[in-house]
Structure 1
Amino acid sequence: MNLKRTNNGILKRPDMRPKERSNIRVFAGRMVYTLKRYLYWYGSGVKFAHKKEDIIHYKEVISQHQTPLIRKLRKVDMWLQQNKITNLRIGIERINGLVLYPGETFSYWKQIGKPRKKDGFVEGMVLFYGGFKPGIGGGLCQLSNLIYWMTLHTPLTIVERWRHSYDVFPDADRTQPFGSGATCSYNYIDLQIKNETSQPMQLYLYLTETDLVGEWRSTEAIEDRYEVYEKEHYIQQEYWGGYTRHNQIYRRRYGHSGVLLNDEFVAENHAVMMYEPLLESKANS
C-alpha cells in the first residue's frame, strides 16, 4: 500500500483496519492467484535461474548476513522453531549454489517448490492475519528475509517483494530497520531478483548450530558498497482503536574511496501492530 495524495497535495495513508474474510473467499482467492502465478512462471518468457555450480568458482563475497535460528517469542511453542530449522535445511538444499547469470531472474518459490510433507517439510510457524499457526513449511520466511536483506547490499535488482501486513512481535534484539524483510507464501507471494549486471552471482547458504548464514558471491569483486536505513518511522493510533506502524527504507551506494554515488528510495512499509507500543519501548530499553 502506497501513500496517495489528495487533490490539495496532502499525503493520505491507506485505511489499514483489519478486514475479516470468510474461509471460502480466502480459499478461492488463493486458488486464483496460485494459477496466475503458474501461468506467469511458464508463459511469461522470463528467463528464470535454475543452474547450480560449485562454490569454488565464485570466490568474491559481495554481501553476507546471518540471523539466529532460535528467538524467544511470546506464546510461540519452541517445537515450531525447531521444526523451522528442518524446513530451512530443505529449502537451502534447493537453493544453495544457484547461479544468477546476467539477464536471469531468481524466483524464490519456483526454485524451492511447494513445501510438502512427503518431501520432508514439517509444521513450523506460519504468520496468518496478524497471528500465527502451524503450517507445513513454516519458517521459510526467515530464508526469504535473509536473501532480501543481502540483495539490498548488492547491485542486483529486486523485481518482486512483499512486506508483512502485520507487525506481530516487538523489536527485541532487532538489528535491522522495521520492514526490511520479505514475507513469502507459496506461490504468488514471492521474492524475485533480476541480474542486470554483467557478471554472474551465486547464492551460498548454510546453517551453523546457532545461525542461518547466506552470501551473494561472484567471480569478480564489486567496488560499490551499500548502506540500508529507514526514514519517516512512526507509530500511530487509528480511529478504530488499534495501532499501525510505518516507515520508508532507503539505500545509499558508495563508490571507490567512500564517495556517495546514490541515495535511493527502496520500499515503503505499513503494518498493523499486534502488540501495544509500550511493549516495544520495554523491549528496546
Structure 2
Amino acid sequence: MKPKTRSLLRVKAGTVYYRIKRYIKWYFGKQKFATKKENTPLPYCIFTHSTPLYRKLKNVDMWLQQNKVKNIEIALKKLDGILILPGETFSYWKNIGKPTRHKGYVEGMVLYYGSFKTGIGGGLCQLSNLIYWCTLHSPLKVVERHRHSFDVFPDSNRTQPFRSGATCAYNYLDLQIYNATNNPYQLKLYLTDNKLMAEWRSNTCPNLQFHVYEKKHWITHEHWGGYLRHNLIYRKAFDLDNNLLADEYITENHAIMMYNPLLENPNKNNV
C-alpha cells in the first residue's frame, strides 16, 4: 500500500473507464434496484443512529462543512423513504444521481490521495458512512462497500471502530445493500440543527439485535518509511433474550497514515 503518484491524465482516464463500467452494470445487469419511495414511515424501527454535522478538523475551513450540509440536504431528498423490497438492491449513487451545480450541489471537502480538496458534492461520504453503519445493525446485506485508503485525521472523540464507514465517489465507488429477507425495509433520513439522523424501518418487529466491534487493531511501520493502520471488524448477533447466535467477520481495513501515529493513541475511545 505504498503511496503511488498518478498523473492527472491517468486519474481522469481511470474515472471515465470505471464510470462507464458502472453504467453498464446498472442498465444491463441482472440486479433489480430499489426505486420505490414511501413518505409514511414503516411502523418498526430496526436501528437508528446519528452523526454530528460539524467537526473541528485541522486545516479544514468551516465553510466546507457548511457546504457539506447543503449537499447532504439535496441528497436526502433522493434517499429519504426509499424502500428495499425483498430481492431488491439499494444503490447509493443510482438513487442520488451525479452531483452537479445544476442540481444545487456546491463545493465541499473531498478526500484525495491522502489529503483533501474541494469538489462539487463534497461531503456526501458522511451520508454513505452513516447508512453503512446502520445497515450493519440490520438483517440487510452489504454487497458493495469501499474503504478509505488513507487515514488523514487523527482520532478525535471516536465512538465507532476505525474505518467502520463506506467511502463514495460517483459512481464507481458505490454502496449497495441487498434485501435477502421476506420483508420490506425503509431508509429514513433527516437533519436536526447539528446532527444527521438515519433509520432503517420495517413492517415487522425486529427479532435480532447486533453489536459491531473491532476485534483486532494494529499499526505497522513499512519498509518505505510510512505507517499503515489495520483492523478487523466483526459483528455479534443476539436474539431478543440476549442469547448469542453468531459472531461473524464483516471486513478488514488497511489505511496509509498521513500523521505520526505517536501523536495520539489510535485506540482511544474505540468501542
Match of 1:48 in 2: 33
Task: Quote the residue 2:138 is aligned against.
Answer: 154
- Matched residue of 2:225: which SS? coil
Q: Conserved in 2, the CA contact under 8 Å of 1:116 and 1:136?
A: yes
Per the TM alignment, residue 80 of structure 1 is displaced from its structure 2 partner at its CA by 0.3
Which stretches in structure 1 are left out of the alignment for 5+ residues?
1-15
Asked if 1 retains the 8 angstrom alpha-carbon contact of 2:213 and 2:233, the reply is yes
Amino acid at match of 1:262: A
Q: Aligned letter for 1:49?
A: A
Distance of aligned partners of 1:283 and 1:223 in 2 relative to their CA distance in 1, 3 Å threshold: closer
Identity of matched residues, %: 59
> Equivalent residue for 1:135?
119
Opposite residue 194 of structure 1, the aligned amino acid is Y
Once residues 209 and 256 of structure 1 are traced to their aligned partners in structure 2, the CA distance between those partners, rounded to angstroms, is: 34
The CA deviation at 1:235 is 1.0
Cα displacement (A) at 1:283: 9.8
Instruction: Give, in angstroms, the shift of residue 262 of structure 1.
Output: 0.5
TM-score, normalised via structure 2 length: 0.97
Give the match for residue 71 of structure 2. Answer: 87
Equivalent residue number for residue 233 of structure 1: 217
Q: CA deviation at 1:281?
A: 2.4
Aligned residue pair count: 269
Letter in 1 for 2:136: L
Cα separation, 2, equivalents of 1:128 and 1:101:
35
Structure 2, unaligned runs of 5 or more: none
Deviation at 1:173, TM superposition (A): 1.0
Q: Contact (CA 8 Å) 2:154, 2:266: kept in 1 or not?
A: no
Q: Give the whole-Å Cα distance in 1 for the aligned partners of 2:150 and 2:29.
A: 31
Q: Is the 8 A contact 1:49 1:98 kept in 2?
A: yes
Matched with 2:21 is 36
Q: Is the 8 A contact 1:146 1:214 kept in 2?
A: yes
**Aligned residue type for 2:263:** L
Rounded to whole Å, the distance in 2 between the matches of 1:283 and 1:124 is: 29
Range that drifts further, 116-125 or 232-241: 232-241
3-state SS in 2 of match to 1:241: coil
Letter in 2 for 1:173: N
Say if 2:153 and 2:259, in contact at 8 Å, map to a contact too. Answer: yes
Alignment of 1:131-280 (within 5 A): 131-280=115-264
Verify the 8 A CA contact 1:55 1:204 in the aligned structure 2. Answer: no
State the alpha-carbon separation in 2 of the partners of residues 269 and 108 from structure 1.
Answer: 21
SS of 2:241's partner is helix
Counterpart in the other structure of 1:77: 61
Query: Displacement of 1:256 after TM fit?
Result: 3.1
Q: What does the per-residue CA deviation read over 1:182-226, in whole Å, with 9 as the maximum and x for residues that have no partner?
A: 000000100000000000000000000010000000111111000
